[in-house]
Chain A
Amino acid sequence: MAKFIVKRIGYMLVTLFIVVTATFFLMHSIPGDPLAHMARNLPEQTRENYYEKYGLDKSTSEQYLIFMKNLVTKGDLGESLRYPGREVTDTLLTNASVSAQPGGLALLAGIAIGILLGIVAALNKNRWPDYIVMFIAILGITVPVFVLASVLQYFLSVKLMVLPTTGWGSWQNVVLPVIVLSFGTIATYARYVKSNMLDVMGQDYILTAEAKGVSKLNVVKKHVLKNAFLPCMTLLVGQVSGIFTGSFVVEKIFGIPGLGFYYINSINDRDYTMIIGTTVFAAALFVFVQLVVDIAYSIMDPRIRVK
């Protein structure tokens, strides 16, 4: 077990190193001057000061070493090019905590409802509850979020005026984003849990349990659910890290000042340090969650470790 964890952490570090390095050099290979927008009309001396402040007077490899040193020793990702004085790391943490509120609620709601619907569908295979659940699941997968968001805004905010359209600060602002965000999660989990349960129900050990005379409730509770839930954990990786990075589209539509919203902004602003910082942050989160899920998975399912 310890060997497995150490190996996994090793992979994680290698992956992160590659991502950080690749992002850094890719961003620095873009032709053009990252400070062009503000330094163009400044006097020679002021401009030079600016370049010095951001270390842009040094060669790319020197800049890379400084960047890596700051990142590893202090967790420092530099300063925003567009808004001088704003630390990238601070901005990231603030924005991520905003994204996490609707994101976390939506994930919890989505998983709970999705799993429930999946169980109902699997136990009623080819009967009307199954058809209803699968209809919802297909809607959730095929309707783009921006359409769902617009439609909900139109009916609940404009026509019925029960919830605010956009904004941030009160609990009413969270309701619509949570519904929109959880819809896709519900659909994914309902489908996944259903097919996993049907898979497990066809296994020999279920037949054995039934042959021994175990009640249907106990078969489902003790054998089917336990085994069907395990593979669902792999789905969590993208979703848990997605809580913090937020949904680009949903945050834009509802005006939530989260990480996704600012990421799109920093791309439109060509704010290079922010782009690198957000990319590194998102990748680190993703890889870290993957590590946690991998370890948790191998504790719960010993078959994985053997492979």
Chain B
Amino acid sequence: MAKVHEITVWTRGVIMDKEGRDVINIFAKAAQMDGKHAQAFDNYEDLPDRVLVTTRKYVRLSDEEIEHKYVYTNDEPEVVVILEATIVKGIDILRGMKKGGTLIINTNRSIDSMLKFIPNAKLLGTIATVDADGITGVRTVDFSGSEGGVDTSGIGKGIASPVCGAIAKVTGMIKKENLAKIVSDVSGMERGYKEVKIKKLG
């Protein structure tokens, strides 16, 4: 069985839930366009989401069909994406990550100032920041809940586009050209790709 890559996205309930959902759906779709096998889904235990509580969204990628799909959580994320910067303060967001993993944060703060707040930062091989809010100026697109994370209406109108651009640049797991065919805000995605700040750590 081929290796399954795990990507975990942290967001906040209701007001930013749609953004998190868009990130995983865009990510999975872009990977599928590249011939990869991908799953995108909500963390079931975080649902139904409450306003502002942290909720998790997951992507799994593999070169082969992902045989065992009934696993509730991503236990060993290689890439963690934080859609709202203050989430890093209260939660061990890198839990389960193996040494050398990647963290991408939506923030206008500097990488070094963010690093101060991250528990277990020594696990990281790469950290990156992208000011997605600054790029789109839009955070909340849609309050409508849709359990199961498959509502793709207006996909990528908000911060998901620059965030996915940044993910493509930092991880190389998805291609910018594919993203451009999926997201509604292509220029926001391009800016995220271009403007993401990346730092390699020991």
Q: Do A and B bind each other?
A: no
**Chain A residues engaging chain B, CB cutoff 8 angstroms:** none
**Chain B residues engaging chain A, CB cutoff 8 angstroms:** none
